[in-house]
Amino acid sequence: GNSVTQMEGPVTLSEEAFLTINCTYTATGYPSLFWYVQYPGEGLQLLLKATKADDKGSNKGFEATYRKETTSFHLEKGSVQVSDSAVYFCALSGGAGGTSYGKLTFGQGTILTVHP
């Protein structure tokens, strides 16, 4: 079945530092890939997505490129802010045909803390 593996956390950075959160996946076919962010006490917000190989998703300074050859979708941001402190989830959908409707498979989440 599908699976998603995220880098072990938590991650602690100083403001304006460079961020990378690694994400690799296992899936058959051609899944779509997502990054969601969860702030304390809230649900998940879509951060960015990519639906085919070599697509780059971007939003609010965050970027991730769908790399089929390395089955990866690493999240990057050039300069983090205190307000970026949250939990980040990598997820995929599809990749297994008709058994995948409505189902996102998530990584374990990475807690990011940014200090001033």
Partner 1 sequence: KAGVTQTPRYLIKTRGQQVTLSCSPISGHRSVSWYQQTPGQGLQFLFEYFSETQRNKGNFPGRFSGRQFSNSRSEMNVSTLELGDSALYLCASSTGQVYTDTQYFGPGTRLTVL
- Is residue 35 within 8 Å of 98, Cβ to Cβ? no
- Closest separation in Å from C-beta 93 to partner 1: 5
Exposure string (b/e) for 84-105, b if CB count within 10 Å is 16 or more? bbbbbbbbbbbbbeeebeeebb
Residues 40-99 binding partner 1 (CB under 8 A) are: 42-46, 49, 51, 89, 93-94, 97-99
The verdict on 7 binding partner 1 (CB under 8 A) reads: no
The verdict on 100 binding partner 1 (CB under 8 A) reads: yes
C-beta of 2 vs 84, nearer to partner 1: 2
Q: How far is Cα 97 from Cα 5, in angstroms, rounded to an integer?
A: 21
Query: Looking at residue 100, what DSSP letter applies?
Result: G
Give me the residues that bind partner 1 (CB under 8 A), please.
Answer: 31-32, 34, 36, 42-46, 49, 51, 89, 93-94, 97-109
